[in-house]
Structure 1
């Protein structure tokens, strides 16, 4: 059974950062060659302790000095310098994010340390995929032949994960609000997907995790729930204006990242099970994981894409 993309073609435009879209391949940026990601994650964890100790408003200058010094250390600099922004660009962006930071209920960054963690760990994504071009606009996402229609797959029971689509009308939002009042715990509290589309490799990855999660949890546990997938840069900036911790550049805008619900599964006693499955895959070099609180951000590694593409084609009969 061939799975159509239902797309008339891809409209390209100038990328947000210097990049070019390449034909699909198994990934030229191997997760096993390059910076030591374990050392990078350890260095980020150490930095977060120091940032937490300088959380007060009076410590702004001390935080700037700390960030400037620590990001130049080899374990951190190796990853940041390998991104399209480079070390200096990444440093300046992080300092600007910290200067602008205002805690709010929508943001996954509950404090400054969380903001630094989300930003720095998500740089692994943009390092891996630095030669992929950004989906700049909403129409690019809707019409890209690199993405497939999730609704087409869902109706044919080809997905091993769940999601909800973002309501597009006042009536739809009203119905969603009523359902939440009547059954507040029936589904995660999420706005839903604006774009019900994804890369084939990401579909295969989420299906794989979904099957593993189902096998590791008791009968009656809800399936893996995905709260975010591909986004346009246009939408990323909309989220930023609304107060979300939507980093730029982002693996979501490159099409290689997804967010999976975590906290909701705590009521079923399986949150730690899902966390363990994701971290095991990270240790194997297959994905990058960023703890964003209610949801965890994951991004496929280039070294995993050949296996994932083959898995998608085998599963879908392409």
Structure 2
């Protein structure tokens, strides 16, 4: 799959035909700043996950803690964790606490302890990148922020290339959603929907860009990219945690720079692997951080891609 060139003034609509896959450099992106080696970090995390998976039994608690204590001090991992707001010690303590509290449930994207460790450690790249960004603490702050735009306003003007559904707010709405799922169980992804239909302008440009590329490299009958989560308040993040979701703290969602996109549903259209490769290609280019959370994949925009995407948003929206 050849990834299309993306200039700041690109307009909606397919612009390339599928061809051989190539490693690409993102046009208009700033050079990567000096910092931790993220390839080495992800490789070290992958090795750690193999060892965590081998210590899955309840009798292995002490061995798992000793393993975490040892591996998090490895230079490749320690360099990233030390650069987060919590630092290495705080990140270690938070991870051990998450592991001690872990209870598998159908809502959580962490199907087991190994998945929990993967999600936590890989998502630390987000908070390292955006460690100086302010957190949206309350629902009211999300609703009132001038840094966010209303997706519904854009959708009604046909300015979005991706789809989403909102979270029902009333008992009647939840009932109608349940009936719709029973009648057409595979018509849409199985997701609670967006609590906030608001997003940063750069994130809208990123999702439109990914959606166009996805459409250009899949059969015409394939549905558009589907977004399952965007910005969240810290208040809502803790609400999700109480419900059993693997909602990590701190989180790129609460900074407004992270999104979740549906992957599993696209299996029925033979497009899941295409989308997965597309997202990983962007990670290799340094444009996003990617965390495989099973049904949906978590993405966080890299700071170096922000200027290009802000310019792309302004050009596309005619601002």
**What does residue 193 of structure 1 align with?**
194
Take 1:233 and 1:31, find their aligned partners in 2: how far apart are those partners?
Answer: 29
Query: Deviations for 1:163-206, whole angstroms, at most 9, x for unmatched residues?
Result: 00000100001111111011101000000001000000000000
Secondary structure, counterpart of 2:220 in structure 1: coil
Q: How does 1:236-251 map to 2 (within 5 A)?
A: 236-251=237-252
In the alignment, is the contact (CA less than 8 A) between 1:193 and 1:229 conserved in 2?
A: yes
Residue 106 of structure 1 pairs with residue 113 of structure 2: no
Take 1:37 and 1:197, find their aligned partners in 2: how far apart are those partners?
Answer: 29
Secondary structure, counterpart of 1:202 in structure 2: helix
**What does residue 142 of structure 2 align with?**
141
Take 1:35 and 1:149, find their aligned partners in 2: how far apart are those partners?
Answer: 35
What is the deviation of 1:33? 1.9
Residue 304 of structure 1 pairs with residue 308 of structure 2: no
Take 1:86 and 1:27, find their aligned partners in 2: how far apart are those partners?
Answer: 28
Take 1:171 and 1:44, find their aligned partners in 2: how far apart are those partners?
Answer: 44
Take 1:55 and 1:100, find their aligned partners in 2: how far apart are those partners?
Answer: 15
Q: How does 1:91-170 map to 2 (within 5 A)?
A: 91-170=92-171
Take 2:299 and 2:74, find their aligned partners in 1: how far apart are those partners?
Answer: 25
What is the deviation of 1:32? 3.8
Query: What is the RMSD computed on CA atoms of the aligned residues?
Result: 1.2
Take 2:143 and 2:256, find their aligned partners in 1: how far apart are those partners?
Answer: 12
**What does residue 19 of structure 1 align with?**
none
In the alignment, is the contact (CA less than 8 A) between 2:29 and 2:308 conserved in 1?
A: no
In the alignment, is the contact (CA less than 8 A) between 1:80 and 1:123 conserved in 2?
A: yes
Secondary structure, counterpart of 1:249 in structure 2: coil
What is the deviation of 1:27? 11
**What does residue 85 of structure 1 align with?**
86
In the alignment, is the contact (CA less than 8 A) between 1:199 and 1:256 conserved in 2?
A: yes
**What does residue 15 of structure 2 align with?**
none
Take 2:168 and 2:29, find their aligned partners in 1: how far apart are those partners?
Answer: 35
Structure 2: give runs of 5+ residues left out of the alignment. 1-27
Take 2:68 and 2:134, find their aligned partners in 1: how far apart are those partners?
Answer: 28
Residue 278 of structure 1 pairs with residue 279 of structure 2: yes
Secondary structure, counterpart of 2:226 in structure 1: strand
Residue 263 of structure 1 pairs with residue 264 of structure 2: yes
Take 1:194 and 1:292, find their aligned partners in 2: how far apart are those partners?
Answer: 19
Secondary structure, counterpart of 2:260 in structure 1: strand
Take 1:259 and 1:229, find their aligned partners in 2: how far apart are those partners?
Answer: 7
Residue 223 of structure 1 pairs with residue 224 of structure 2: yes
Take 1:317 and 1:152, find their aligned partners in 2: how far apart are those partners?
Answer: 14
What is the deviation of 1:220? 1.0
**What does residue 315 of structure 1 align with?**
316
Take 1:237 and 1:31, find their aligned partners in 2: how far apart are those partners?
Answer: 33
In the alignment, is the contact (CA less than 8 A) between 1:31 and 1:302 conserved in 2?
A: no
**What does residue 69 of structure 1 align with?**
70
Take 2:88 and 2:204, find their aligned partners in 1: how far apart are those partners?
Answer: 32
Residue 54 of structure 1 pairs with residue 50 of structure 2: no
TM-score, with normalisation over the residues of structure 2? Answer: 0.90
Secondary structure, counterpart of 2:47 in structure 1: helix
In the alignment, is the contact (CA less than 8 A) between 1:203 and 1:312 conserved in 2?
A: yes
Take 2:29 and 2:169, find their aligned partners in 1: how far apart are those partners?
Answer: 36
Structure 1: give runs of 5+ residues left out of the alignment. 1-25
Query: Deviations for 1:102-145, whole angstroms, at most 9, x for unmatched residues?
Result: 00000000010000000000000000000001100000000000
Take 1:273 and 1:236, find their aligned partners in 2: how far apart are those partners?
Answer: 30
Structure 1 residues 126, 178: CA separation in 2 closer, same or farther (over 3 Å shift)? same
